[in-house]
Amino acid sequence: MKYKHLEGLIAAPFTPMDKDGNINLSVIPDYYKLLKHNGVTGAFICGSTGEGASLSMDEKKAVAGAWAECTNHDSDFTVMMFLGGTSIKDCIELALHAQRSGLFAVSFTAPFYFKPADIESLANCCKAIADEVPEIPFYYYHIPVLTGVGFPMINLLKSVYEKIPNFAGIKYTNEDFMDFLSCLHFKDGKYNMLWGRDENMLSALALGVKGSVGSTFNYAAPLYNDLINAFNSNNLQKAQTLQQLSIDMISLLGKYGGMPTGNAYMKLVGLDCGEFRLPFKNMQMEQFDLFKKDTEEINFNSFCSKKPIC
């Protein structure tokens, strides 16, 4: 089975929340319009950035339905659903819902409480889910910093080859460039390898990356599209300068508390996604004022995403 390889910027959206901490589906149509307007080609929903591990099954189904409703008419914008990783049964249920909803693909990460003992066990987990949704692409989500499962992905591709017909590729959120390049070249580039580290995209482009999934594409897509264009035009000096801007922007995430700082960036581009759930710690108002000053220091407004004019 052969699937189209996704290219360009695929955002990992935040799951919008209201002031009471409930999912706020009403924001999603405007969210899609923001991404589309800024040259983003798809969305990886309910992943790490989308707090998928903190959402209930019903909430994840509702989020999937909302994204499907506003994007299913758009063949140029693909939505991939993150299924989770602890309960295979729940992942199958959610995968079937994604398939019924008309989403493009589903993605699964390694079980991170009871961890697979070896690569074959991990491959069997993938197969158990993928076999239930044979009509849509299945992607593995490699993020060992969160799962603690760090098998080389080239070994997973060797294990699933010819065993999982709808295994389409890997969302690769790790810095092992040697392993990643081996995956890119496996079976003449059969699998769609999506890069997942925004702060070193330039290095991945040099290896041949065509598609990337990232949280900062939500609010700084023009920066990365310019970086890609500079690289493709052999203007490496400009590409390096833009990558440094990305690094400067991402460094503020760490300075102000990690992942929830992304929602502060979203407020600056005019889309309020609320706050993160526990156990995350959200930014206080006095911190937001300092954060905003720091974004002015890096001239964030010059490269951030812009809302479409209604």
Question: Is residue 214 classed as helix, strand or coil in its secondary structure?
Answer: strand
Distance CA 161, CA 98 (A): 24
Q: Cis before residue 137, ω within 30 degrees of 0?
A: no
Is residue 106 within 8 Å of 83, Cβ to Cβ? yes
From the candidates 36, 60, 61, 171, which is the catalytic residue? 171
Q: Where are the beta strands (DSSP E) in the chain?
A: 8-11, 40-45, 78-82, 105-109, 138-142, 167-172, 192-195, 211-214
- Alpha-carbon Rg for the chain, nearest whole angstrom, is 19
Distance CA 222, CA 11 (A): 12
From the candidates 32, 141, 172, 265, which is the catalytic residue? 141
- Indicate the helix (H) or strand (E) that contains 40: strand 40-45
Say how many Å lie between the first and final Cα of the chain, rounded. 41
Is 141 a known active-site residue?
Answer: yes
Q: Where are the beta strands (DSSP E) in 126-206?
A: 138-142, 167-172, 192-195
Distance CA 36, CA 203 (A): 26
Distance CA 203, CA 43 (A): 23
The sign of the CA dihedral 242, 248, 252, 254 is: positive
Distance CA 247, CA 254 (A): 11
Residue 141: partners with Cβ closer than 8 Å, 6 or more residues away: 47, 82, 85, 107, 108, 109, 170, 171, 173
- At 66, phi and psi to the nearest 5? -65, -40
Distance CA 122, CA 135 (A): 21
Residues catalogued as catalytic:
141, 171
